[in-house]
C-alpha cells in the first residue's frame, strides 16, 4: 500500500464525522441517511462506513460527501481516488503516491491520538486524550475556561466562569468565605467574623439573626420586645415603650413616661404613696408625701389634701369632727371650741385651759397624754409617736421609742437581726444588726478567722479557717502547697517551700546528689550546689585540699593534686607570680627568694647589675637613688637630707638658670636679684635685697601700692603717700588715694573722723560757710 493510502487509513479510522452525516467513528454500525458518503471505482472502491478500504484505481474513482458544506469533512481526490480532508489540511491532487505536506493544522506524523507530540500539537496522550484530561481530543492542552474540568480544576463553565458565578475565573468552586459574592450568597467579606456586616454563612447581618453586629447593642434572634433585647436590636431599657419584666418594669409608655403621669420614669405604675404627684393622665392626686402620707398628716392615705371637715385632724388643725358645723366642740374652721376652758367637759379627760402645748399634762384635745396618741410628749420620755402607726417592727415602737439597732426589736427593712445587748461582731447578730457570715471581716461563731475577702492565698481561707501548710493554697510565707502531695523529696516540701539546695533534703528533681543543709558550702564535703566535693572541681575542700583551681595545669597556683604551689620548689609558676625559680635562698644572684628576677629597688645590692646601693624603696631623694646610685649635686635629684641638704637640683643647668644655683640651693625673694621665676616658683616684680615694706619693694618682691596698709613715700608706683589705711572708704581719715581727708573736700568723714581729727556732719566743699549753704566752714550743720 502506498504511503498516501496508509496515511488515509490512519486518518479516517479515528475521525468522527457524524457532524456532516458520516457514520460515527467506532460505533460498529453502518448507517445510511440522506447525507451518505460513497466511493466508486470501476475496479475497486473504498467503503468509509464499514471501516474497510480497497485500493482504488488511479484517475478513475471519486469520493465525496455531497452534504458537507463547512469545509471540515469533505474528502475527494479526482485524480487518484485517494480521499482528501479539505478542512483538515490534507489533499492529494495528483497521481503520485508521495505523502502530502505534514505541516497541516492539528495533524502531523501519525496524527492526533497516536501518543506522539507532532508539530502543531500542544500535547498527545494517545487514548487518554479527552476533555477531562490534561490533553483534549484535539491534542490541545486543557485550560481553565474551555468548559472541561481538567486536572487541578474544581469546575469549568467556560465563558460562564466568574467571581459572581458558581465557578470562579480560576476554575475553583465558589464558597462562602472566599471574599466573592457567589450564587445564593447575600454577601461575602472573606472572614470568619460573625460580628461584622456579613455573617459566617454569607448572609447580610440583620437584626434578629441572633448575631450581634457592630451596629447592634444586642441580638437575641427573636421577635419579642418584652425581653432584654428589642426587635431593633437595642438593649432593653426603661423608656423604650416596651414592658420588660426581666428588668423589673411594670409599665413603659416611652416618651410619655413621667413622674406625674400614669407610668413613672422608673417604669412603675403611679401609686398613691410613691412620693410622686400623679396629677396628669388618669392621675387625680392632690399631694403625695410618700411615707409621710396618712392620718393626721397634711396629705392623707388617698393622696388628698387633708381639709377641715374630713374627720382627719391635720397638723394645722386643732380638731376635725367631720363636719363644718360649730357648737359641737369643733368649729367650722377646725378650731377647738370647748377644750381649753379649764373645765373638763363630757368627753374630755382633762382641760388645763392652755392650748398650744401638747406636753403640759393635757393635750390640746383635752386628753391625757399617752403613747399612741400621735403626739410626742418628752415629759413621758417619748422619742416618737405615730399613733396607730406605732409598731415594734417599725420606726416608732409601741412604747414610743425610736427604733434603733440594739433595742432587741427587728426594724423591718432596716435590720436583719437584733439581739439587743447581745449584739456583737463576734455573735450571730453583729453590732450593726446584720447577720454574721463568713467573709464579713468579723470572727463569728464557728469561724476560726474572717479577713473579709475572697482570697484563699492569705492567712484566712474563704471558709474562714486558718490557713496552714498542706491545705492546698499558697499563703504568704509559703512558696508552694500541693496539699497531701507535699513531700521533702518532691516538688514542694512539708514546710511548703520549693525544693532548693541547702534545705537538708536530697531532691533528685532538683539534680541534687547530696544536701547537708546549713553544712553545705564550697569548702565542705557537699558543695553549695549540692554535689559532692572533689579535687578539680574548683572548690577548696578545707581539711582535705590545700587548693583547687579546677584545672590540670601544674605550673599555676595549684597542682593537680590540689596542693598549693610555692616559690623555691624549682618550678616556675607564672600564675603564682613567679618569673623564675632557682630553688635557692640567695638574693644576690639573678633570681631572688621571691622567685622574681633581681632588679634595682628590690633592697638587695647586686654588683653584677652595676648597683652602687639598693635601699629597696622608690624615694629618689634619699641616700640611694631609684637608679641604685649614690647621690651628688648635679644628678638632677634633690636630696634634702644630711649630709646633702639640697634645696634644688637641675642637673647640668644648675647655676645657669634663675631657680637653682651651683650648690643646689634655691634662689629666693630678698637675695637682691630679680628672678622670674625664683627657686620657689615666684615671679618677682622687684628685689631690693631687704626685708622692709616701707620702700618701693615689699618683702614678697612685689611693688608697694596705695591701699596696702603701709605708708610709703614714694611707693612702688612713685606716689608719695600721706597715709594708708588699707580700705576703700573716703569717709574716714585717709582717702582712697592715700591722702589725708579734710573739711572742704566735699566728702563727709564721720567714720569716725577726717584727717584733721574732726567729725564732719556735712561737707559741701567750696560752698561750706557761704550764703545759702546749710554747712558751715567747719563742716557742721548751720543752725536753722
Q: Coil, strand, or helix at residue 577?
A: coil
The tens digit of pLDDT for each residue in 568-611 reads 888 888 878 889 988 888 888 888 889 999 899 988 988 878 88
779 part of a folded domain: yes
Confidence of residue 68 (pLDDT cuts 50, 70, 90): very low
Query: Can you give the pLDDT at residue 697?
Result: 92
Dihedrals phi, psi of 703, to nearest 5 degrees: -65, 140
CA–CA distance, 192 with 196 (Å, rounded to integer): 9
Query: Can you give the pLDDT at residue 681?
Result: 82
Mean pLDDT of 182-211: 86
* Element (DSSP H or E) covering residue 6: helix 3-12
Query: Can you give the pLDDT at residue 307?
Result: 92
Residue 250 has pLDDT above 90, yes or no: yes
Residue 649 has pLDDT above 60, yes or no: yes
782 part of a folded domain: yes
Could you tell me what percent of the chain has a pLDDT over 70? Answer: 85
Q: End-to-end distance of the chain based on CA atoms, in angstroms?
A: 170
The tens digit of pLDDT for each residue in 172-183 reads 999 998 989 989
**Where is average pLDDT lowest: 92-106, 116-130, 324-338?**
92-106
776 part of a folded domain: yes
Is 576 or 775 the better-scoring residue by pLDDT? 775
Cell numbers representing residue 777 in the block: 566752714
**Helix%, strand%, coil% for the chain, nearest 5:** 5, 5, 85
The distance from CA 146 to its chain's CA centroid, rounded to whole angstroms, is: 58
Of 27-36, 505-514, 646-655, which one has max mean pLDDT? 505-514
DSSP 336-392: BSSTTSSS--TT-S---S--S-TTSSS-TTS----TTSS---GGGT-S---GGG--T
The tens digit of pLDDT for each residue in 296-336 reads 999 999 999 999 999 899 998 888 888 988 767 787 888 77
Query: Can you give the pLDDT at residue 112?
Result: 94
286 part of a folded domain: no
Query: Can you give the pLDDT at residue 548?
Result: 92
Query: Can you give the pLDDT at residue 682?
Result: 85
Mean pLDDT of the chain: 81
Dihedrals phi, psi of 460, to nearest 5 degrees: -130, 125
**Where is average pLDDT lowest: 43-57, 479-493, 521-535, 687-701?**
43-57
Q: Answer for the pair 155, 162: CB distance below 8 angstroms, yes or no.
A: no
Domain holding 768, by residue range, is 742-784
Q: Answer for the pair 740, 733: CB distance below 8 angstroms, yes or no.
A: yes
Query: Can you give the pLDDT at residue 680?
Result: 82
751 part of a folded domain: yes
Residue 217 has pLDDT above 60, yes or no: yes
CA–CA distance, 395 with 389 (Å, rounded to integer): 9
Cell numbers representing residue 72 in the block: 471540515
104 part of a folded domain: no
Query: Can you give the pLDDT at residue 168?
Result: 92
The tens digit of pLDDT for each residue in 370-394 reads 999 999 999 899 999 999 999 999 9
> pTM for the complete prediction?
0.26
How many Cβ atoms sit within 10 Å of the Cβ of residue 251?
A: 16
Q: HEC string of 602-621? A: CCCCCHHHCCCCCCCCCCCC
774 part of a folded domain: yes
Query: Can you give the pLDDT at residue 760?
Result: 87
How many domains in the chain?
Answer: 1
Q: Coil, strand, or helix at residue 597?
A: strand
Query: Can you give the pLDDT at residue 543?
Result: 92
758 part of a folded domain: yes
How many Cβ atoms sit within 10 Å of the Cβ of residue 71?
A: 11
For the chain, the residue count is 784
Residue 10 has pLDDT above 50, yes or no: no
Query: Can you give the pLDDT at residue 327?
Result: 67
CA–CA distance, 383 with 458 (Å, rounded to integer): 47
Query: Can you give the pLDDT at residue 657?
Result: 64
Query: Can you give the pLDDT at residue 104?
Result: 34
Any bridge partners for residue 46, and if so which? 53
Mean pLDDT of 346-365: 84
Amino acid at each position: 500500500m502506498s504511503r498516501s493510502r496508509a496515511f488515509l487509513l490512519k486518518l479516517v479510522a479515528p475521525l468522527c464525522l457524524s457532524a456532516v452525516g458520516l457514520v460515527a467513528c467506532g460505533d460498529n454500525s453502518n448507517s445510511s441517511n440522506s447525507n451518505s458518503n460513497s466511493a466508486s471505482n470501476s475496479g475497486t472502491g473504498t467503503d468509509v462506513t464499514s471501516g474497510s478500504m480497497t485500493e482504488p484505481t488511479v484517475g478513475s474513482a471519486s469520493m465525496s460527501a455531497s452534504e458537507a458544506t463547512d469545509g471540515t469533512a469533505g474528502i475527494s481526490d479526482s485524480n487518484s481516488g485517494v480521499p482528501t480532508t479539505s478542512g483538515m489540511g490534507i489533499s492529494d491532487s495528483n497521481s503520485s503516491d508521495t505523502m502530502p505536506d505534514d505541516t497541516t493544522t492539528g495533524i502531523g506524523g501519525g496524527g492526533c491520538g497516536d501518543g506522539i507530540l507532532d508539530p502543531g500539537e500542544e500535547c498527545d496522550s494517545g487514548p487518554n486524550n479527552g476533555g477531562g484530561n490534561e490533553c483534549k481530543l484535539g491534542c490541545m492542552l486543557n485550560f481553565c475556561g474551555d468548559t472541561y474540568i481538567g486536572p487541578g480544576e474544581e469546575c469549568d463553565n467556560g465563558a460562564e466562569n466568574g467571581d459572581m458565578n458558581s465557578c470562579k475565573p480560576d476554575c475553583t468552586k465558589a464558597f462562602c468565605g472566599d471574599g466573592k459574592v457567589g450564587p445564593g450568597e447575600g454577601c461575602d467579606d472573606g472572614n470568619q467574623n460573625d460580628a461584622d456586616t456579613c455573617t459566617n454563612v454569607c448572609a447580610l447581618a440583620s437584626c434578629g439573626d441572633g448575631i450581634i453586629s457592630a451596629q447592634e447593642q444586642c441580638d437575641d434572634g427573636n421577635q419579642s420586645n418584652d425581653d432584654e433585647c428589642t426587635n431593633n436590636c437595642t438593649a432593653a431599657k426603661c423608656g423604650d415603650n416596651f414592658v420588660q419584666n426581666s428588668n423589673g418594669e411594670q409599665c413603659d409608655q416611652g416618651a410619655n413616661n413621667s413622674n406625674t403621669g400614669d407610668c413613672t420614669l422608673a417604669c412603675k405604675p403611679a401609686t398613691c404613696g410613691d412620693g410622686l404627684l400623679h396629677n396628669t393622665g388618669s392621675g387625680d392626686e392632690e399631694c403625695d408625701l410618700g411615707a409621710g402620707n396618712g392620718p393626721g398628716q397634711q396629705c392623707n392615705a388617698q393622696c388628698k389634701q387633708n381639709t377641715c371637715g374630713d374627720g382627719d385632724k391635720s397638723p394645722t388643725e386643732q380638731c376635725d369632727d367631720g363636719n363644718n358645723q360649730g357648737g359641737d366642740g369643733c368649729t367650722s374652721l377646725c378650731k377647738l371650741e370647748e377644750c381649753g376652758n379649764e373645765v373638763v367637759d363630757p368627753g374630755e379627760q382633762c382641760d388645763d385651759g392652755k392650748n398650744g402645748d401638747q406636753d403640759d399634762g393635757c393635750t390640746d384635745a383635752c386628753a391625757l397624754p399617752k403613747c399612741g396618741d400621735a403626739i410626742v410628749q418628752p415629759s413621758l420620755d417619748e422619742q416618737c409617736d405615730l399613733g396607730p402607726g406605732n409598731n415594734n417592727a417599725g420606726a416608732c415602737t409601741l412604747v414610743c421609742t425610736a427604733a434603733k439597732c440594739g433595742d432587741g426589736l427587728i426594724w423591718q427593712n432596716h435590720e436583719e437581726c437584733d439581739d439587743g445587748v447581745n449584739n456583737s461582731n463576734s455573735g450571730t447578730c453583729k453590732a450593726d444588726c446584720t447577720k454574721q457570715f463568713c467573709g464579713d471581716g468579723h470572727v463569728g461563731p464557728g469561724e476560726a478567722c474572717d479577713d473579709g475577702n475572697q482570697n484563699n492565698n492569705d492567712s484566712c481561707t474563704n471558709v474562714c479557717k486558718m490557713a496552714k501548710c498542706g491545705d492546698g493554697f499558697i499563703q504568704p510565707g509559703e512558696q508552694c502547697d500541693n496539699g497531701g502531695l507535699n513531700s521533702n523529696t518532691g516538688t514542694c516540701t512539708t514546710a511548703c517551700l520549693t525544693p532548693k539546695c541547702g534545705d537538708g533534703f536530697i531532691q533528685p528533681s532538683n539534680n541534687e546528689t547530696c544536701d547537708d543543709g546549713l553544712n553545705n558550702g564550697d569548702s565542705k564535703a557537699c558543695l553549695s550546689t549540692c554535689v559532692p566535693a572533689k579535687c578539680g572541681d574548683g572548690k577548696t575542700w578545707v581539711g582535705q585540699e590545700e587548693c583547687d583551681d579546677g584545672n590540670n595545669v601544674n605550673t599555676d597556683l595549684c597542682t593537680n593534686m590540689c596542693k598549693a604551689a610555692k616559690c623555691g620548689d624549682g618550678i616556675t609558676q607564672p600564675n603564682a607570680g613567679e618569673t623564675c625559680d632557682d630553688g635557692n635562698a640567695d638574693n644576690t644572684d639573678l633570681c631572688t627568694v621571691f622567685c622574681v628576677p633581681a632588679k634595682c629597688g628590690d633592697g638587695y645590692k647586686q654588683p653584677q647589675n652595676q648597683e652602687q646601693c639598693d635601699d629597696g624603696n622608690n624615694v629618689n631623694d634619699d641616700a640611694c637613688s631609684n637608679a641604685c646610685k649614690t647621690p651628688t649635686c648635679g644628678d638632677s635629684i634633690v636630696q634634702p637630707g644630711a649630709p646633702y641638704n639640697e634645696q634644688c637640683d637641675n642637673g647640668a643647668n644648675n647655676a645657669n638658670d634663675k631657680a637653682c644655683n651651683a650648690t643646689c640651693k634655691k634662689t629666693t625673694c630678698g637675695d637682691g636679684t630679680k628672678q622670674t621665676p625664683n627657686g620657689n616658683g615666684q615671679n618677682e616684680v622687684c628685689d631690693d635685697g631687704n626685708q622692709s615694706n616701707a620702700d618701693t619693694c615689699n618683702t614678697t618682691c612685689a611693688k608697694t601700692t596705695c591701699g596696702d596698709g603701709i605708708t610709703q613715700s614714694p611707693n612702688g608706683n612713685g606716689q608719695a603717700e600721706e597715709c594708708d589705711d588699707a580700705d576703700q572708704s573716703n569717709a574716714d581719715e585717709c582717702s582712697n588715694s592715700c591722702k589725708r581727708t579734710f573739711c572742704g573736700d566735699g566728702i563727709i568723714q564721720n567714720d569716725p573722723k577726717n584727717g584733721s581729727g574732726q567729725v564732719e556732719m556735712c561737707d559741701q566743699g567750696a560752698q561750706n560757710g557761704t550764703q545759702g549753704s546749710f554747712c558751715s566752714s567747719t563742716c557742721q550743720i548751720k543752725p536753722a
